[in-house]
């Protein structure tokens, strides 16, 4: 005879008959409570290690006493034996579908409200109908059956009349309670959606890619979160389902047998949702009461704007008449409730054909393969191009010219190819291969170690990078050409007036004054700014060249170490690696830049145009105790501008970072210092004022620290 019946209740009326049994019951209750706090309320009350310790203790006790087995035990979430097939489940209350409003505009909400008011016999002078507006999840509908508060069955929608028993798989979902902690009806069916969060989906696909890379022939990646969730729910082996991170939202009821003393505790759908939440079920936060059509329209537009920021996929919103008595009055038609509608957004995924694959060059030289598509309307716009991101991604998805593909566009995100429909692939199609030369300028395309992207090495020579190169060169921290901004650079490049950096110094007054919104006075001011910029420094010039990975600090370190530009340009990889803070990636980037003849030609022409700087002997190896130390500056200083303080520190061999971390050696705080000062105090980083920093620097100059 067992001590526990099917629902985990003690058969014996004698309390404390067995201390171990009492411990089992206590552990189950405690772990159910912790799981509710973690999965439903998103407010864990114990560390994961403590939960794991209690879970393992319960597992050990149940293993020792197998006759104490109970379907409501938290240990049942880990999955059972594989099933031969799913058993059919006939729903006590049919799982009806909701009519879809295909008008993906605000007018869809107006049409629904008009129909409801007509069905209820309401006129213009009657008050607005009260609705509940909810999200339409892109997942799998599920019916959860509880008897005496214990989950005994989970079934899919199926055809609405009969679904499949997927109880073993649903037990693995942490958000679904195995035992309800509140008083509930003896029979309670809760309906909702099983789905997969986007971050969980990406993590799952990353694990699948690793398995594929390690030779697991049974592993595959998934097209989208909905397919991954549906596949997990319909796994015959629940251990596989347990490995896939599923979530759940509740939104309605099926069969309910109320106790006389309990009775229905709600008169509106909104109250029903709040009751489900109080019983321990997760309910989406984006549920709102709407008064009439204007509120429905506002909800549709607001959620549409937030759609891409949600952590899960939705394909629309749902409107329901709030008062249950009105729902009953409205009734059903063609097995659909009259009192509800699903208002969809424009589709974010569609099928189309790949007409070609081109490689585009970005402003920083990044080479991106782009699929040229047969026009398709997706996400509210007509799409003809979709990014393939990089060579690895294009090969992983194996996108080829002529393929039928799934294209996704979410909000303002650049459209992308999600997957290929392999069954429609043409015979003889060729794999994509990234060109090893820039398609714009013909320069070598290189892929640095541990990077996914190929980049054009053309730099200053490549027209695709021209505007960005000019703006970078002219910025305040580089050679500084005052008045040379984005719009002017656009005009100069688009008109073909400036093709390389030296062309800036060949500009004439007539050509400038002819530009849109460029009067003669403005043109003269720009020419003067260009003339002034010719007198610069070696660190500023090196930084202005836009060499990948070479920031201001690295440019200063190179100038100090080598003394002259020619020495930097002639340096070997080993010589570059000897520079403070120059590692293999930065050294290779510098070497690659100056190996390009066109980059060396640009430097020569800039010199010929009169761009000059002071040069000197290489600096002696730094013996300063500040060499390599990391400083962070914050607040306003009394005698120095922030840039001046930065220059002083870097000239002493120190590094100046933008944020505080455990690796920061000093924080220099001036007036009105904010979060960086607080962070330093929290981490115990030494804090100096301006005077202390200057004293430290003076000590360096005097030979002491």
Give the active site residues. 136
CA atoms of 398 and 456, how far apart (whole Å): 23
Owner of token pair 């411990």: 23
Spell out the long-range contacts of 595-598 with Cβ–Cβ below 8 A and sequence spacing 24 or more.
595/457, 596/443, 596/444, 596/457, 596/458, 596/459, 596/461, 598/443, 598/458, 598/459, 598/460, 598/461
Contacts of 417 (CB under 8 A, 6+ apart): 354, 371, 386, 387, 388, 397, 399, 405, 406, 407, 408
CA distances from 426 to 41, 353, 476, 555 (A): 50, 11, 54, 52
The residue among 641, 624, 684 whose CA lies nearest residue 660 is 684
Identify the bridge partners of residue 153 per DSSP, sorted by sequence position: 145
Q: How many Å is the Cα radius of gyration of the chain? A: 34
Angstrom distance (rounded) from CA 73 to CA 62: 9
Phi first, then psi, for residue 301 (nearest 5°) are: -70, -40
Determine the Cα–Cα distance for residues 221 and 219; give it in Å rounded to an integer. Answer: 7
Q: Are 138 and 314 in contact (CB under 8 A)?
A: yes
> Do the strands 687-688 and 666-669 form a parallel or antiparallel pair, or are they unpaired?
parallel
Q: Which alpha helices (DSSP H) does 336-476 contain, by range?
A: 391-397, 466-474
- DSSP count for the chain of H helices, then E strands: 24, 24
145 contacts 187 by C-beta, under 8 angstroms: yes
Strand partners, 376: 383
Contacts of 195 (CB under 8 A, 6+ apart): 137, 138, 139, 140, 225, 226, 229, 246, 247, 248, 249, 312, 313
Please list the residues that pair with 342 across neighbouring strands: 100, 318
- Helix (H) / strand (E) element for 533: namely helix 520-533
Q: Tell me the β-bridge partners of 165.
A: 155
Dihedral of CA atoms 164, 165, 166, 168 in degrees, nearest 10, equals -160
CA-wise closest residue to 353 among 421, 429, 414? 421
Q: Are strands 340-344 and 314-321 parallel, antiparallel or unpaired?
A: antiparallel
Query: How distant is the alpha carbon of residue 107 from its chain centre?
Result: 32
């Amino acid at each position: 005879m067992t001590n526990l019946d099917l629902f985990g209740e003690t058969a014996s009326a004698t309390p404390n008959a067995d201390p171990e049994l009492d411990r089992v019951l206590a552990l189950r209750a405690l772990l159910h409570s912790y799981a509710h706090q973690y999965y439903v309320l998103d407010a864990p009350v114990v560390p994961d290690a403590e939960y794991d310790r209690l879970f393992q203790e319960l597992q050990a006790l149940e293993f020792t006493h197998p006759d104490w087995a109970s379907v409501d035990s938290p240990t049942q979430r880990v999955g059972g034996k594989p099933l031969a097939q799913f058993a059919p489940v006939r729903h006590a209350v049919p799982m009806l579908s909701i009519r879809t409003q295909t008008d993906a505009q605000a007018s869809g909400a107006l049409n629904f409200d008009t129909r409801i008011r007509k069905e209820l016999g309401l006129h213009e002078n009657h008050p607005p109908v009260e609705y509940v507006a909810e999200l339409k999840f892109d997942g799998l509908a599920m019916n959860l059956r509880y008897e005496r508060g214990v989950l005994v069955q989970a079934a899919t929608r199926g055809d609405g009349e009969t679904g499949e028993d997927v109880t073993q798989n649903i037990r693995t979902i942490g958000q679904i309670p195995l035992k309800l902690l509140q008083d509930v009806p003896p029979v309670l069916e809760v309906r909702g959606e099983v789905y997969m969060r986007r971050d969980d989906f990406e993590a799952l696909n990353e694990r699948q890619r690793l398995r594929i890379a390690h030779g697991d022939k049974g592993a595959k990646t998934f097209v989208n979160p909905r397919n991954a969730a549906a596949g997990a729910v319909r796994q015959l082996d629940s251990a596989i389902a347990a490995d896939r991170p599923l979530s759940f939202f509740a939104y309605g009821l099926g069969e309910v047998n109320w106790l006389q003393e309990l009775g229905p505790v709600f008169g509106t759908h909104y109250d029903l949702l709040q009751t489900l939440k109080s019983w321990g079920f997760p309910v989406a936060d984006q549920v709102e009461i709407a008064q009439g059509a204007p509120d429905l329209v506002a909800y549709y537009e607001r959620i549409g704007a937030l759609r891409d920021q949600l952590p899960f996929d939705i394909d629309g919103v749902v409107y329901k008449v709030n008062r249950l008595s009105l729902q009953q009055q409205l009734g059903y038609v063609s097995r659909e409730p009259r009192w509800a509608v699903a208002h969809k957004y424009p589709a974010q995924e569609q099928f189309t054909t790949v007409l070609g694959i081109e490689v585009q060059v970005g402003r920083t030289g990044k080479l991106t393969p782009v699929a040229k598509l047969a026009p398709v309307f997706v996400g509210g716009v007509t799409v003809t191009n979709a990014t393939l991101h990089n060579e690895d991604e294009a090969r992983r998805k194996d996108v080829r010219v002529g393929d039928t593909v799934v294209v996704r566009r979410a909000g303002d995100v650049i459209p992308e190819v999600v997957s290929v429909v392999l069954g429609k692939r043409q015979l003889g199609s060729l794999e994509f291969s990234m060109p090893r030369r820039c398609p714009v300028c013909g320069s070598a395309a290189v892929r640095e170690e541990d990077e996914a992207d190929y980049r054009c090495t053309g730099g200053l020579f490549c027209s695709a990078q021209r505007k960005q190169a000019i703006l970078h060169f002219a910025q305040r921290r580089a050679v500084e050409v005052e008045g040379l901004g984005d719009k002017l650079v656009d005009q100069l490049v688009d008109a073909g007036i400036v093709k390389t950096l030296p062309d800036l110094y060949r500009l004439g007054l007539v050509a400038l004054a002819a530009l849109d919104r460029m009067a003669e006075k403005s043109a003269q001011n720009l020419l003067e700014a260009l003339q002034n910029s010719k007198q610069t420094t070696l660190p500023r010039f090196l930084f202005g060249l836009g060499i990948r990975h070479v920031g201001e600090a690295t440019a200063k370190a190179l100038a100090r170490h080598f003394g002259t530009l020619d020495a930097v340009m002639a340096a070997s990889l080993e010589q570059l690696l000897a520079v403070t803070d120059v590692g293999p990636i930065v050294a290779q980037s510098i070497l690659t830049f100056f190996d390009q003849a066109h980059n060396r030609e640009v430097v020569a022409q800039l010199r010929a145009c009169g761009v000059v700087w002071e040069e000197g002997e290489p600096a002696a190896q730094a013996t300063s105790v500040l060499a390599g130390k990391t400083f962070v500056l914050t607040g306003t200083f009394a005698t120095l501008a922030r840039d001046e303080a930065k220059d002083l520190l870097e000239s002493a061999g120190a590094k100046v970072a933008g944020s505080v971390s455990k690796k920061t050696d000093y924080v220099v705080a001036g007036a009105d210092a904010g979060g960086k000062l607080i962070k330093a105090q929290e981490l115990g980083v030494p804090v100096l004022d301006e005077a202390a920093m200057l004293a430290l620097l003076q000590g360096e100059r005097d030979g002491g620290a």
